[in-house]
Amino acid sequence: MKQKLKWLLILILVIEIILFFVYKPFFLFVAILFAIFLLAGMLLLVLNALYKRTNHWKNQFIFEKNFISNLGYRDNLSRNLDVVNLGSNPALFGLFYEKVRGQNWATGSQGLEMDFEILKYFHSYVRDGGIVLLPIMPFTAISQYIKTKKGYWNDSYYIKFAKILDASQVRNMPGGINLRRMSKYPLVYNPKLLRYILVDVPRDCRLEITEQTMSAVELEQDAGMWINGWKKEFDAVSIKDFTHDQKYLPYRKEAVDIVRSMIEYCESRNLKPVLITIPMSRYLADKFDADFRRSMIDDFVKELGIGGVEFLDYMFDPGFDDPALYNGSFFLNLKGRKLFSSQVMKDLQLQ
């Protein structure tokens, strides 16, 4: 964009010089018009910089500090990691590495395809024989269905990956040509964001919370909210639809293919893939019947056909169903995250 602006300014300057010698009155009009546009452009860039200082913008990229940076003096550069994980929000809030060289590569809402892209770009920072945790969550088996939902995997979803992945990967994403520009000049592409300069949102400090913030009644309501949200997201009427509705089968096959490809990718580079589930509180766990658990977790892992790959299943582990370990019914708080991660590291024989 800077290069285009440079050539545009040169073109305008040439036109102004020609007008000055050919028709001075029109030269004055164009000069005034140009000055107005120049000032407006400068104002927009200033407002864009101010917006990028807001919590609304920063909250979307909290995960960035978890990724290796090759910029500047490489202050955040770490090599020879023992263990990393991919995954969506449950993994982001589920894994915390202490006393081990590890990094959490979950970014929040992160589909399997973006899991794979992150793995491709950052895998070389994992030591030879290092562990890559591949989280399997309640709806991983049918998660590819989300791409049928308008507005779910849109520009705002892909922008966060555009900030951490290689340019060649970004170009292959939907809207890839503009994603990096949009990450640099969000206000230019969406002027409505201007309102957050005037009235910002609170800083996202959920990863810092160390205790349960909900009462028993609120936890029950929160669990119901998650279930209803998933029903809406996947166009289901009841929990049974997730395991019996044939419309999910093509998307389940896609999920199997992607996870299997990630496993093969790890193995071909002498990395150890490990499938893992993240626990949830008993309030939410009780909403899933045995049929759901078997179909969406156990059967899905069997469909991968990857004998010999370790599978650590904690999703409905009673050892982690204490609501005090969570903030809400689904995501572990910092206390729970440390306790759970310590157990995972022991099970992986890293501690």
Strands (E), the chain: 81-85, 102-104, 126-135, 272-276, 310-312, 326-327, 331-332
Q: Which helix (H) or strand (E) holds 128?
A: strand 126-135
Question: Model's pTM, two decimal places?
Answer: 0.86
pLDDT at 72: 43
pLDDT in tens, the chain (351 residues): 555 555 555 655 655 555 555 555 655 555 566 666 667 667 888 899 999 999 999 999 888 888 865 544 445 555 789 999 999 999 999 999 999 999 999 998 889 999 999 999 999 999 999 999 999 999 999 999 998 888 788 888 899 898 889 888 988 888 888 888 898 899 988 999 999 999 999 999 999 999 999 999 999 999 999 999 999 999 999 999 999 899 999 999 999 999 999 999 999 999 999 999 999 999 999 999 999 999 999 999 999 988 889 999 999 999 998 999 999 999 999 999 999 999 999 999 997
pLDDT at 329: 96
pLDDT at 219: 97
Q: How far is CA 72 from the centre of its chain?
A: 24
- In the block, tokens 């999703």 appear at 315
Burial 274-289 (b: 16+ CB within 10 A, else e): bbbbbbbbbbbbebbe
pLDDT at 75: 52
- 321: its two tokens: 């169903």
